[in-house]
Amino acid sequence: MRTLFVNGTIVTAEGSYAADVLVDGEVIAQIGAGLAASVTADEVIDATGKYLIPGGIDAHTHMKLPFGGTFAKDDFETGTRAAAFGGTTTIVDFAVQNKGQSLHEGLDTWFAMAEGMAVADYGFHMIMSDVTDATLAEMDALVDEGVPDFKLFTAYPGVFYSPDDHIFRALQQTAKNGGLILMHAENGPVIDILAAEQIAKGVTDPIGHGLARDSRMEGEATSRVIRLAEVAGAPVYFVHMSAKEAVEALVAARARGAMAWAETCPQYLYLTLDDLGHGFEGAKFVCSPPLRTPDHVAALWSAVENGDLPLIGTDHCPFDFHGQKELGRGDFRKIPNGLPGVEERVDLMHQGVVDGRYSKERWVSLVSTTPAKMFGMYPKKGAIAVGSDADLVVYDPSRKHVLSASTHHMDVDYSCYEGQTVQGGSDVVMSRGSVIVRNGEFTGRKGAGKFVKRGRADFARAI
């Protein structure tokens, strides 16, 4: 199958220009002006007035994550389909090693969930719940098998939490094997005390979640882990950064040459602590770290604008309000943590272009190219170049649409952005040469998505 995209503006992280793109099979075969005159194609897609961008890459999703006695609602079929509607053609999901399991046992469970289900491509990070001599040795094998990064937590005592010595040993291992440690940085043990104090004061509604998870405890954990990484001689990457104190720690560390990186997520740029505050409705907005006050939001936007936060994941982890978030009625500590968002990321970040915060090239970098580089997929993914996978989106920068649970494709009964209008939308979405979304209709196939074997975290070793 050969597809020719004509009359569009190619937008990449490096620049924008008018050119046509020929896709042959699963890859980009030619790029040039006026290709229609010289090549044949089975289908010609007219992108007049539209951008042609590399497919979005969301390197932070949790399909079917077990949390708080339930499971995140989207599976790999519904989750990657929703992602595709929103212009994202690759996800990197977090496989979970439960305590007592080997890393491979956890990873195999995630392979079994994704294979035959995903409609678009996927990779895996590995959540490490147990740092032992055996799992440290297994990390080396995973790096070679295309799963080169490992998430550890200073949060969630008794579940995913790792003490400092475990984190340090894992960092030392990646210093040797070329992998990357991803950190959820919040001081979990202290937050548990603060949360119990909220309950003792009678604050049982979701607002207690936001009040207990003090931003300084994200800043503290971030600077502590950066110091551990510096001593270990390893790079470190912070997921879902939400606090200005954490950004300050990151910026200071990078200034002294530490190999420290971070992402943030749209919810921390668009939503605030106030969203947690409308009685139990606020449960819809319970995630960790929590939504924060506008001063944090402003600090995050600045960091996105100036490049301190160079990429955006979603932390997509959807739980229905009815029946799942409701598990925490009467005690906010029992509300499953996580928000839906895989479908909305590309459009929400396009608002930064619409609002004049950054260029359209930076937008492509935030949602596709830098994730590809950071997570060992570039230039197979995240690029419009001859030989790259034909993951392409015809993006209409002018089309306005309203975000709503009644129209979204995520398998969850609410939207965090209900009723909000965004400008920009994905008209045609191609995954490795096949159109999987066309003008609001799904045209892909369950099981067509393939595992992406990713390279070592070389990019994270630069500063």
Chain residues in the site for Zn ion (CB under 5 A): 184, 315
In this complex, which beta carbon is closest to ligand URP, that of residue 213 or of residue 450? 213
Residue given tokens 């996978």 in the structure block: 389
**Does the footprint of ligand URP cover residue 184 (CB under 6 A)?**
yes
In this complex, which beta carbon is closest to ligand URP, that of residue 185 or of residue 390? 185
The entry of Zn ion, ligand URP, none that residue 292 binds, CB within 5 to 8 Å by partner kind: none
Q: Which residue is nearest to ligand URP (CB)?
A: 337
Q: Cβ 124 to Zn ion, closest distance in Å?
A: 13
Q: Cβ 264 to Zn ion, closest distance in Å?
A: 12
In this complex, which beta carbon is closest to ligand URP, that of residue 220 or of residue 263? 263
Look at residues 24, 96, 83 and name the one whose alpha carbon lies nearest to residue 57: 83
Q: Cβ 21 to ligand URP, closest distance in Å?
A: 35
**Does the footprint of ligand URP cover residue 275 (CB under 6 A)?**
no
The entry of ligand URP, Zn ion, none that residue 287 binds, CB within 5 to 8 Å by partner kind: ligand URP
The entry of Zn ion, ligand URP, none that residue 337 binds, CB within 5 to 8 Å by partner kind: ligand URP
Say how far apart CA 80 and CA 233 lie, in whole Å: 36
Q: Cβ 420 to ligand URP, closest distance in Å?
A: 21
Say how far apart CA 222 and CA 247 lie, in whole Å: 9
**Does the footprint of ligand URP cover residue 338 (CB under 6 A)?**
yes
Using alpha carbons only, give the angle 92, 97, 100 rounded to the nearest 5 degrees: 175
In this complex, which beta carbon is closest to ligand URP, that of residue 154 or of residue 388? 154
Say how far apart CA 164 and CA 189 lie, in whole Å: 12
**Does the footprint of ligand URP cover residue 315 (CB under 6 A)?**
yes
Candidates 20, 35, 53, 62; binder of ligand URP (CB under 6 A) is 62
Look at residues 299, 368, 322, 351 and name the one whose alpha carbon lies nearest to residue 92: 368
Report helix angle 215-232 to 244-255, nearest 10: 20
Pairing of strands 311-312, 260-264: parallel
φ, ψ (nearest 5 deg) of residue 425: -165, 155
25-48 b/e (C-beta count within 10 Å ≥ 16 → b): eebbbbbeeebeeeeebeeebebe
**Does the footprint of ligand URP cover residue 287 (CB under 6 A)?**
yes
Candidates 13, 229, 317, 367; binder of ligand URP (CB under 6 A) is 317
φ, ψ (nearest 5 deg) of residue 46: -90, 120
**Residues making contact with ligand URP (CB under 6 A):** 62, 184, 240, 287-288, 315, 317, 337-338
